[in-house]
Amino acid sequence: MPTTNAAVELLAEPLTLRCGAVLPHRLAKSALSEQLGDRRNRPGRELVELYRTWSRGGAGVLVTGNVMVDPRALGEPRNVAVSEEPDAGAFREWAAASTGTGSQLWVQLNHPGRQSPRFLSRQPVAPSAVPFGDRGVRSVFATPRALTGNEIDVIIDRFAVSARTVIDAGFRGIQLHGAHGYLISQFLSPLTNRRTDAWGGDAVRRRRFLLELVRRVRAEVGDSVPLSVKLNSADFQRGGFTEEESLEVVRELGEAGIDLLEISGGTYERAAMMGLTSGSRASTRSREAYFLDYATKARQVSDVALMVTGGFRTVAGMAAALRSGALDVIGLGRPVTVTPDLPARLLAGEDVEAERLCPKTGIRLADSWLEIQWHTQQMHRVASGKPVDRRRGAVRSLVVAGVNDPLNAFRRVRG
């Protein structure tokens, strides 16, 4: 569908957040795990180059991939992590990557909980000692140990200190990753949080961890720094975190004073964030966004600014979603690994779509891994100053991943 001036103008409108920060327009680059930390899990020159490229590509906000709050708790071997003795200086060059572009860099803070692979954590921690139900996933992740109350307090401290560290380094905002089955998500779900103390036992106590994180991080960074949460609309698992519970969390997050809520969904066992689930309505597919129906419901329980990521292809689809009032910000993830300057081109009125070029093998488990690896390898090319390889095939991508993943794990252990 041809791009119209009215649609482009809608995408170009600034947005003032509750904290007073102004987003220059409605297109944001959502978090993608870059896997570009060094052996000590510090940000390096490649991350600076990648984010400099994306900043020049026109996104109003760039949310980093996982920055782990504890270097002993990693989801992937090359995650960036805030050291046990935090050093803002280690993050300053990365934070300055957007200088002179008008883009704002926000850091996504995370803790993997039980989603830390066996080669990184022989016994990861979680709200409760619940293994993965999927046999294939369980082969990768060990059964976690339940956190003690004191350990929960320490993790909350780590989030707060990490937030302060990156803001001192020059980053402009914070996002707490409360989706996709990581630790915050584990506390929210009755499948993974079977505690009977102050941190679990019912829906109110299960969301206490997230709300306490919001309170502590806000106290640490102040009222003028944008604070965002990425939240599952649901886990899409029987007996898991439901849409009804999620909407209650949205209501309380709004009351707690967050500035932006990014809506996603799913876990490693049910990866709704990677694409539409089977049985999705035709109307949802035609509107492009994966979680637009949920966003409409979230809008009814809170006036917090909403960002939806996933599925958007065209300016017309993005503008229609904004015009509906269901959301305020369009999140673009994997498409900007294919077209790093996609936001600028969309705002310039070019007739360009958010593309998904990842090849398929036809094998479900292989394709799930390939989807991540193919896009990660494209990010690594851009980070090293190379152009995107749009013709990169499935076999080559899987072979490279099969070599690099064990090598990175070995380097992590040796480092």
How far is residue 229's CA from residue 158's CA, in Å, rounded to a whole number?
17
**Between helices 292-301 and 243-256, what is the axis angle to 10°?**
50
Closest alpha carbon to 179 in 272, 78, 312: 272
CA 129/CA 113 separation, integer angstroms: 11
Whole-prediction pTM: 0.92
Question: Considering only CA atoms, which of 238, 212, 236, 214 is closest in space to residue 226?
Answer: 214
pLDDT for position 276: 40
Taking only the tens place, the pLDDT of each residue in 226-258 is: 999 999 987 766 778 899 999 999 999 999 999
Which residue in 180, 144, 157 sits closest to 65, CA to CA? 180
Domains and CATH numbers, the chain: 5-356 (3.20.20.70), 357-415 (no CATH)
Residue carrying structure tokens 């709004």: 254
- The predicted model gives 308-327 an average pLDDT of 94
Residue 190 has pLDDT above 80, yes or no: yes
State the distance between the two ends of the chain, measured CA to CA, in whole angstroms.
51
Bridge-based pairing of strands 104-110 and 173-178 is: parallel
Q: Quick one: average pLDDT of 187-198?
A: 96
**Model confidence over 52-104: pLDDT tens digits?**
999 999 999 999 999 999 999 999 999 999 999 999 999 999 999 999 999 99
**What long-range pairs does 23-26 form, CB within 8 A, spacing at least 24?**
23/60, 23/61, 23/104, 23/329, 24/60, 24/102, 24/103, 24/104, 25/60, 25/343, 25/347, 26/60, 26/318, 26/322, 26/328, 26/329, 26/330
